[in-house]
Amino acid sequence: MSKKLFIKTYGCQMNVYDSARMADALVPHGYRATDRADDADLVILNTCHIREKAAEKVYSELGRLRRLRERRRARGADMVIGVAGCVAQAEGQEMLERAPFVDIVVGPQAYHRLPELLHRRARVKASVLDTDFPVESKFDRLPEELATPPGISAFLTVQEGCDKFCTFCVVPYTRGAEASRPAAAILAEACRLVAAGAREITLLGQNVNAYRGEGPDGRPWSLGRLIRSLAEVEDLARIRYTTSHPRDVSDDLIEAHGSVDKLMPFLHLPVQSGADAMLQAMNRRHTADDYRRIVERLRRARPDLALSSDFIVGFPGETDRDFAATLALVEEIGFAQAFSFKYSPRPGTPAAGMRRQIKDAQKSERLARLQALLAEQARAFNAGVVGQVLPVLLERPGRHPGQQVGRTPYLQAVHVEAAGRGLGQTIEVLITESHSHSLAAVPVEPPAARPGANRRGMPACA
Ligand code: SF4
């Protein structure tokens, strides 16, 4: 009899991808997905450590699950509770001590072993823990078969881990050192995603542009080289990648932005601060001017490139002048969208112990000013495409009959009155309105060919 699996995913796209792969690993063992935790025989929390008080939030969710399990047990059913992801990795044994009712704790590099952990737990009738960084790659052990269709826009992890050790970040401790998957495995997975209906693939990595995977020729491939090869995949219309580090923006990657039509003109390139003193204290390994130069070169290669970024305000020691430098950088670069946060200490990171922590009221005041500027830029960017004809990849039905929702090359959500057009098609639309988080558009007749369709027509998927 099949068992039901519920995975709750926190955090970034990499966790969304990991949750899908956990399902891939478990479906051959008799599990099928449910969207209700109270209906599930196995509940997994796939956790993220980036946000403030992440571990506390997981413990409180675990308390809720424990009560849910008690109610199921009263009905004669049971529930296995698992915790995966970065909080599982960071807490490890401590999680089993603090929440001994948790059955499985598994780190982000070991989730391919979930079926084995479930068996072990049933055998030993006790909680099991696996937060190893195994020698074998999980990607070699995960089934090729997809448990659920990927959707029009799919994620594909190409790189994991980080060697940068920014002083505010836990990722190098929870995800380990930078490691890249071989290009052949990525190309094969891309082909499977496209065969299952995906038309856009976002390449994922904590430091995706640090990609140095082994190429089919035995040499290390850069991200630019990988993108050029992926662009040969017939029926793959769009390629994106995230998240990048300014240090790893290579000449080759810049060149790919200028020459690969399928590589979308939108780049998330975190800068965090516009002040060199802060960048140094954060151990970002680049200056504000380095960032300016990189953006200038990228825009020379691809003049319509839209940028997104991450900002931290109120990092320890940040002065009014440092904050003004951040505002100046934002004014100068101009961002299509951005994520901005108040600095909050993560236990175990160097910045948590730094002197000159900034008062919360001051952080809030700076964040409000920065967000007002970023929101104004985002509004202006969206308003700037009104009246333009843009290619939109249709991703899902809209709320009204005949309406579809897609995205522009610049990642803007667009509601299109596109009755009769199939999901997965890229159509030319006239942008008619801009709202705070989306655009409205009407199709332009006749439907145009997909942008960036494989011009050389080389079928990369055998
Ligand atoms: S580059 Fe810095 S912020 Fe990004 S994952 Fe690595 S340590 Fe964290």
Residues 96-146 have pLDDT tens digits of: 999 999 999 999 989 999 999 999 999 999 999 999 887 667 888 888 888
For a mutational test of ligand 1's pocket, the pick from 162, 280, 309, i.e. the residue with the most ligand atoms closer than 8 A to its C-beta, is 162
Q: What is the 8-class DSSP label of residue 431?
A: E
Q: Which amino acid is at 189?
A: E
Q: For the whole prediction, is pTM greater than 0.85?
A: yes
- At 446 the pLDDT is 58
Q: How far is the CA of 188 from the centre of ligand 1 (A)?
A: 28
User: How confident is the model over 43-100, as pLDDT tens digits?
Assistant: 999 999 877 778 889 999 999 999 999 999 999 999 999 999 999 998 999 999 999 9
User: How confident is the model over 199-250, as pLDDT tens digits?
Assistant: 999 999 999 999 999 999 899 999 999 999 999 999 999 999 999 999 999 9
Q: Find the residues whose C-beta lies inside 6 A of ligand 1.
A: 162, 164-166, 169, 171-172, 206-207, 245
Q: How far is the CA of 162 from the centre of ligand 1 (A)?
A: 6
Q: How far is the CA of 316 from the centre of ligand 1 (A)?
A: 17
SS3 241: strand
DSSP H/E element including 267: strand 266-268
What's the chain's average pLDDT?
92
Q: How far is the CA of 346 from the centre of ligand 1 (A)?
A: 13
- Other C-beta atoms closer than 10 Å to the C-beta of 405 total 18
Q: Is residue 446 reached through a cis peptide bond, with omega within 30 degrees of 0 on the bond before it?
A: yes
Helices 320-333 and 360-384: angle between axes, nearest 10 degrees: 10
Instruction: Please tell me the distance from the alpha carbon of residue 148 to that of residue 444, in angstroms, as a whole number.
Output: 33
Confirm if 7 and 85 have CB atoms less than 8 A apart.
no
For 297-320, letters b (16+ CB in 10 Å) and e give bbbebbeebbbbbebbbbbbbbee
- At 460 the pLDDT is 63
